[in-house]
Structure 1
Amino acid sequence: MTPHQSLLSLEESVKQVVQELDLYSMEEITRKPSEEEWSLGQVYMHLIRSALFMHLRQVEVCRDMTVDAAGNDQLEKTHQGSMAFAAGSIPPIRVKVPASPEYTPPQPASKEEVVEGMQAVLRRMNELEPVIASIPEHHRTMHPGFGYLSAMEWYLLVDMHFRHHALQRGRLAEFLRGTPSASY
């Protein structure tokens, strides 16, 4: 997928999120299926925060590397990372992380906070798209599960991550409608 295709796909995902917001009250958006699971609002906040403060921040780190600080072609993706990027998507598996302030996203304060966050992600993606291809491939930073990623890979990961959580959003929508799902 090219950066432009990734951006178009992300725009579609954000459009779906904004439409979802119209379907639910704030009470519903913040309702959790269980104490261990996230609400729809927490999923939205996770997507926003991951994109702005991890994925796109790493694009900037790769862009700003000096020649001396840059990684090299020896720094590779993990098997899991290679498989995800070869497929162009993150596998549809449920990832459990320990409940903690570090991992658990906050509930949104309002629907407007979600919309503004999603718009901020799109703005940043639009700003970076024209320069992403010019960032050297060997400028890489470490992803905790996927290994060393280039700026291009970090950029593409934003859309991959949004698409990965679409299944979770669907499961949460079924929970809110009172129709439990056995999938994802």
Structure 2
Amino acid sequence: MNTTEALQRFEETANYYLHQLDDFSMEQLKRQPSEDEWSLGQMYLHLIHSALYMQLRNVEQCLAPGEDSVASIAEKTREGTEIFDQGSFPPIRVHVPPSPQYTPVQPESKEQLIQGLNTVIGRMKETLPKLEQVPLQNTVPHPRFGPLNSKEWFLLIEMHYRHHLLQMDRLRAFLECNV
């Protein structure tokens, strides 16, 4: 998938997330299936924060190489190569133990989630034209996938949002069973 197609697909997915907010109360958005599982609202904040403060930040670092971005001769990990070859994450559940560094807080309001998603959409649209100007050898390492260039970081955002649709389905089913 090229970056223009990825942006279009990302916008469709992000707009789906936006429309889904109409179906939930704040109480539902904060309800967790268990103590060590995220609520729907936490999942939304995870998507927003990872795009803004990790993935898009790393795109920017590739655009303006400095200490954090290097012309890499290292290669992606096997897992990273597979994900980009497939164009998606495998449809498996990833469970990270709760921690202050990784676990999102509960959302304050639906407006916070709406604003956050709209901010990510806007940043993605602003970033797309810049991607053509960047040498692909400028990379920033991903903790699991190895060095990624600006286009790969950009594509990763779309794949990440699409991957969390599975979690949304699980959480929706939980909420429907616990009305």
TM-score (norm 1): 0.93
Number of residue pairs aligned between Structure 1 and Structure 2: 177
**Which runs of 5 or more residues in structure 2 are unaligned?**
none
Query: Contact (CA 8 Å) 1:52, 1:121: kept in 2 or not?
Result: yes
Which residue of the partner structure matches residue 182 of structure 1? none
Task: Indicate whether 1:115 and 2:114 are aligned.
Answer: yes
Task: Determine the C-alpha separation between the residues in 2 that align with 1:71 and 1:100.
Answer: 33
Which residue of the partner structure matches residue 24 of structure 1? 24
Bigger shift: 170-179 or 110-119? 170-179
Q: Deviations over 1:28-76 (max 9, x none)?
A: 0110000110000000000000000000000000110159x6323x221
Which residue of the partner structure matches residue 88 of structure 1? 87
Which residue of the partner structure matches residue 8 of structure 1? 8
Bigger shift: 23-32 or 89-98? 89-98
Which residue of the partner structure matches residue 141 of structure 1? 140
Which residue of the partner structure matches residue 100 of structure 1? 99
Which residue identity lines up with residue 70 of structure 1 in the other structure? Answer: V
Identity %: 47
1:61 aligns to what SS in structure 2?
A: helix
Query: Contact (CA 8 Å) 1:75, 1:140: kept in 2 or not?
Result: no
- Runs (4+) off by over 6 Å: none
Task: Indicate whether 1:129 and 2:123 are aligned.
Answer: no
* CA shift in 2, pair 1:66/1:41, >3 Å: closer
Which residue identity lines up with residue 27 of structure 1 in the other structure? Answer: E
Task: Determine the C-alpha separation between the residues in 1 that align with 2:124 and 2:74.
Answer: 25
Which residue of the partner structure matches residue 177 of structure 2? 178
Which residue identity lines up with residue 52 of structure 1 in the other structure? Answer: L
Task: Determine the C-alpha separation between the residues in 2 that align with 1:51 and 1:6.
Answer: 14
1:52 aligns to what SS in structure 2?
A: helix
**Which runs of 5 or more residues in structure 1 are unaligned?**
180-184
Q: Deviations over 1:99-125 (max 9, x none)?
A: 111010111100000000001101110
Q: Deviations over 1:74-115 (max 9, x none)?
A: 221100000000000011111121211101011110000000
2:133 aligns to what SS in structure 1?
A: coil
Which residue of the partner structure matches residue 64 of structure 2? 64
